[in-house]
A and B are shown apart, each in its own frame.
Chain A
Amino acid sequence: MRNAILTIILTAVLAVGTTSAFAAAPLNGVYKSSDGDFIEGRETGEWNGGGFLTVGNYLQAFSGEVYPASGTQWKWECPQVVSVNLEADLVFNGFGSKIYSLNYTGGTFGLGGGALPWANGQSYTGSFTTFTEIRTLIFANHVMVGSDSDFSFTGTIDGYPQSCLYGIANGAWLRNTFVGDLDPPDHFPLGGACAGLSRDDQVHLADIRDITLTIGGCTVATEESTWGKVKSLYRD
């Protein structure tokens, strides 16, 4: 009798584990905005640290350039800058470029479901494990007149213990503005959502372009049980 019960329980546990591990896992692959797999988006950089290049700033980026589509295909929410390092200074007499690396910590992401190529019958959320931005600024007469960025990140998808999301993208600074001047027709994530900036606080706005997302190895869900674990539940 005990063996029969054990068999039934084992079958049920393995069935649940298998479903959890495989049926809902995002589909492995390399997905590119430039291939039309998903759309590009926009970023609001929230100046909680006080400036364009300050520790403490947050970032929000949503897919979509046409309101109200923002964030339906992907979202990056609230990675925070923990260090800013000058990598190269090529400015002479107020003209030229500076290259900075910005390291972020924390933050979450969302990947939409539906017809998106990674979707396996559902949408996904997760957390960033690394998030880095290399920002190249251009100066004319000591004034910053442009900035382009390379983003790179890795992340874990909720329910899966290992990092299995990898991404890179370009960013293009558009302008600085104030939270109070942001509104839905601007098509940007509304500033202040990460740490409560007020209307008078400053943000910068940017395009997010040329995104490559790689999903690989999200096949082992955290609730999967090993044979040893199951047996240990029924030891005398």
Chain B
Amino acid sequence: MKSVIVGLLVLSASVPALAGPPANGTYKSTDIGGTMLPGRYSELWFGGPLAVNNTLNEQSWNGTLGTEWHWYCPWITGKVLLLNTVNGLGNGQKIWRVTYTGGYCWLSNTGPWGGDQPSYLANINTWVAIVTEQYANFVEVGSVRNHNATATFTEFNQECMTLDITNVEKLGDTVADGPLPANYPVFWDWFVCAPNGNTGEWGDVDSITFVITGCETVAIQERSWGAVKALYQD
């Protein structure tokens, strides 16, 4: 009887052990000749643009949001002004390096990385934005960004990571342009990591280079033979 139970346990443990990660590789968004989807973003404001606690929400876009990837809940912890060419008339540019922390990356296996799990989750390790703002008469009239991020997949070996860089263009904000339009990611608040709030900005995300590296097929509920035996020791 004991042998049967042990056999069943080993069998059941071996099924999730076959679960595979997303495929390692370098993926590019369709706008620069690749196969993964570009996307859209919103950033919830806590007091204004680039303020501490502002929270990002980025989703793939192909007429529907978030079918392929979703980065959510990294929040701003600080910013450094790298360059300021705004003159006495209020015309010019400011370039900021903005640091975020926290947040998650979700991938569907319908993306070019595939995988035999329906979806994958990763914890964001680093997120840095270079934000270039244009001013006219002291009013911000345009903003473009480069984002770079790293994240470690849960449920797989600790080297199983994703890295990415993107271009971002701000298209509007709730102060200057009214409410968040339909078909842009809703505002998310990192305190609850869920939809919340109604003040912030939105725009496009493209020119994506997305790397998945170090991922191995590792049992997500793997048990060693010793661990199984230990459960039934006399």
A, B bound = yes
- Mark the stretch among A49-57, A95-103, A110-118 that contacts chain B: A95-103
Query: What does DSSP make chain B's interface, helix, strand, loop or mixed?
Result: strand
**Contact flags (1/0) for B70-93 with A, using CB distance below 8 Å?**
000000000000110101010111
Checking A88, A97, A209 against B97 with a beta-carbon cut-off of 8 angstroms, the contacting residue is A88
Q: Indicate if B15 sits at the interface (CB-CB under 8 A).
A: no
Checking A130, A150, A172 against B132 with a beta-carbon cut-off of 8 angstroms, the contacting residue is A150
Q: Are the CB atoms of B211 and A145 closer together than 8 Å?
A: yes
Q: Indicate if B221 sits at the interface (CB-CB under 8 A).
A: no
Interface size on A, residues (CB 8 A): 45
Checking A90, A149, A167, A209 against B134 with a beta-carbon cut-off of 8 angstroms, the contacting residue is A167
With A30-B141, A152-B132 as given contacts, are A209 and B26 in contact (CB-CB < 8 Å)? no
Q: Indicate if A43 sits at the interface (CB-CB under 8 A).
A: no
Q: Are the CB atoms of B141 and A170 closer together than 8 Å?
A: no
Q: Indicate if A216 sits at the interface (CB-CB under 8 A).
A: yes
Q: Are the CB atoms of B142 and A168 closer together than 8 Å?
A: yes
Q: Are the CB atoms of A87 and B137 closer together than 8 Å?
A: no
**Contact flags (1/0) for A146-160 with B, using CB distance below 8 Å?**
111111101000000
Q: Are the CB atoms of A212 and B142 closer together than 8 Å?
A: yes
Q: Are the CB atoms of A96 and B163 closer together than 8 Å?
A: yes
Q: Are the CB atoms of A99 and B136 closer together than 8 Å?
A: no
Which chain A residues lie closer than 8 Å to B83 at the CB level? 101, 132, 152
Checking A138, A154, A166 against B148 with a beta-carbon cut-off of 8 angstroms, the contacting residue is A138
A-B residue pairs in contact (CB < 8 Å), sample of 29: A34-B171, A90-B128, A95-B161, A99-B97, A99-B146, A134-B95, A134-B146, A138-B211, A140-B211, A145-B26, A145-B209, A149-B146, A150-B95, A150-B132, A150-B146, A166-B134, A166-B135, A168-B93, A168-B132, A168-B133, A170-B207, A172-B31, A172-B206, A207-B31, A210-B144, A210-B204, A212-B144, A214-B134, A217-B91
Residue positions of B touching A, CB distance < 8 A: 26, 28, 31-33, 82-83, 85, 87, 89, 91-93, 95, 97, 126, 128, 130-137, 141-146, 148, 150, 161, 163-169, 171, 204, 206-207, 209, 211, 213
